[in-house]
Amino acid sequence: MLPILCVFCGSDSRRSFSRRIARQTFMKSDSSSNTNEAQIQTLMDEWVHAVEARDSKRLLSNYADDVLVYDLMQNHFYRGTEPYRRHMEGWFSAWQGPIHIERKDLSLTVGEDVAFANCLTKSSGTGLNGKPQGGCVRVTVGFRKIDGRWKAVHEHVSMPFDMETMQAMPVLEKA
């Protein structure tokens, strides 16, 4: 079987993404900034665990009620946790067996009450047709501290596209 390569990030589906984290802060390094950074890192990790568990309640517990999500599929954007929950549950149902999520090049920029995370995210698993499915996307998440707790207030998922044809570039390609 030929490996499936992600033409965006160059990963081979048979090996794991490496995980490199770049960090920036808007203030001097102290216990507050380290705590905020650790909390954002935990939220990013929690997203992976919730998606792999197909647990929309757990996933959305870390989103603001009025979150704005730009996504690749269906409506392309969702305002609020309820429309996004329905979208994610539909996405979960398009897989059989486990969903695997891996991240590459996670970068955190953390302030006292606003933070950003961006990374490449790879999903892989088996589709309802029994064939491998998945791909690599770019993800940026904006967080705001609301009532003392970090919440995702904006999420943007994207992939590159060909400027001449205006068509999305293929995410997966056989080598």
Question: Which candidate, 2, 10, 12, 1, places its Cα nearest to that of 124?
Answer: 12
Count of residues in the chain: 175
**For the chain, which domains are there?**
4-9+17-174 (3.10.450.50)
pLDDT of 120 above 80: yes
pLDDT value at position 31? 60
pLDDT value at position 24? 45
Whole-angstrom distance, CA of residue 53 vs CA of residue 75: 24
Question: Which candidate, 145, 144, 162, 161, places its Cα nearest to that of 153?
Answer: 144
Q: What is the mean pLDDT of residues 7-25?
A: 42
DSSP E strand boundaries for 18-146: 21-25, 63-70, 77-79, 95-110, 114-127, 132-146
